[in-house]
A = this chain, B = another copy of it.
């Protein structure tokens, strides 16, 4: 190898560093707690927080440690935002649409029904003006937010019987949360809030008729296909739900600049990895679900049209009543329309062709 510059200069310094552990003391030793909204059993979701902790530790020689606590170990799943806001923990990993009760504007940080897919969400945040708007929202909650994972488009849920038209939604008891629950309630669905562990027995007994969960990889674990075999797609309610890392503002500001950058970059790595894990693992899980008896169905077009119409009617009503929401909705909605025009051309057409024409 021709070592023209740099490497030989670096090597002795690295060796010197290795033999002088005392220098580590020069950087602040920190030990943070991270509260996750997710149980360890949802391993692809939970792994993002673990990955951030691992990379931050590796990038600081173990001086900045983040200990990850699963849902309910410190606070309940929906308590993460308040815990970070109040400094009960220095940081948290959550889905921002859990907090639409505080302000529906939080949904833009995660998933809006018929909103952005995961790439469009990244585009909006990184280069479409979205991050400034989201930072402003979270600043009001004493939090600095970082994108930290995405599941990609989810499935539409498990149904005990087939859904053939909008009329079939009337009176349907469905476990479906957040904004999507509000959308379908306008079409007669009775949304139910049920913890994950209770969904299976509720479906089995017929206490509910349907349940939205995540996608094949996570859904397989819970066995819904055994009691509600109709597996509908697409998950229009969550076409690209993003997870975020929340950092308490005072905690973030007290970090050395190096640690702030290290934390941000580690979130980006976890952001890529979560989507990659879901994409890599969903196909095999879907195969197992179908072998187990799941009946794949696409939502009829009239249902999709009705849901989209109600979603946007709801957004406009919310925007009229909530200036914070309106300030985000208007530019987001323009961005969304332009994105879908473009996505349809190059990206979707090649995927659609390849999907329809498998190589022999």
Contacts and interface: CB of A to CB of B under 8 A. Distances in A.
B280 A128 contact: yes
Interface residues of A, number: 120
A127 interface: yes
A354 B340 contact: yes
A304 interface: yes
A51 to B, nearest CB: 10
A119 B120 contact: no
A338 B359 CA distance: 12
Given A265-B269, A352-B352, A29 B13 contact: yes
Interface in A108-160: 114, 117-120, 122-128, 142, 147, 152-155
Contacts of A147: 272
Interface stretch (A54-62, A93-101, A170-178, A186-194): A54-62
A87 B128 CA distance: 38
Given A255-B14, A261-B58, A342-B286, A304 B234 contact: no
Nearest to A20: B26
B86 A2 contact: yes
A286 B120 CA distance: 16
B27 A17 contact: yes
Contact of A265 (B26, B59, B216, B279): B59
A281 B254 CA distance: 35
B272 A347 contact: no
A347 B261 contact: no
B251 A350 contact: no
A42 interface: no
Contacts of A284: 338
A345 B233 contact: yes
Contacts of A256: 14, 17-18, 61
Given A26-B26, A272-B126, A344-B355, A349 B234 contact: yes
Interface string A258-280: 10011011101101110111011
A215 interface: yes
B283 A350 contact: no
Contacts of A23: 23, 26-27
A211 to B, nearest CB: 16
A122 B20 contact: no
Contacts of A286: 341-342, 345
Interface in A57-90: 58-61, 86-88, 90
Given A59-B59, A90-B7, A122 B283 contact: no
Contacts of A308: 353-354, 357, 359
Given A90-B7, A261-B59, A123 B279 contact: yes
Nearest to A154: B346
Interface of A: 1-7, 9-11, 13-14, 16-18, 20, 23, 26-33, 55, 58-61, 86-88, 90, 114, 117-120, 122-128, 142, 147, 152-155, 215-216, 233-236, 239, 248, 250-251, 254-258, 261-262, 264-266, 268-269, 271-273, 275-277, 279-284, 286-287, 296, 298, 301, 304-305, 308, 312, 333, 335, 337-359
Given A59-B262, A117-B347, 10 more contacts: A6-B251, A7-B248, A23-B23, A55-B261, A61-B257, A119-B119, A236-B353, A262-B265, A344-B351, A348-B352
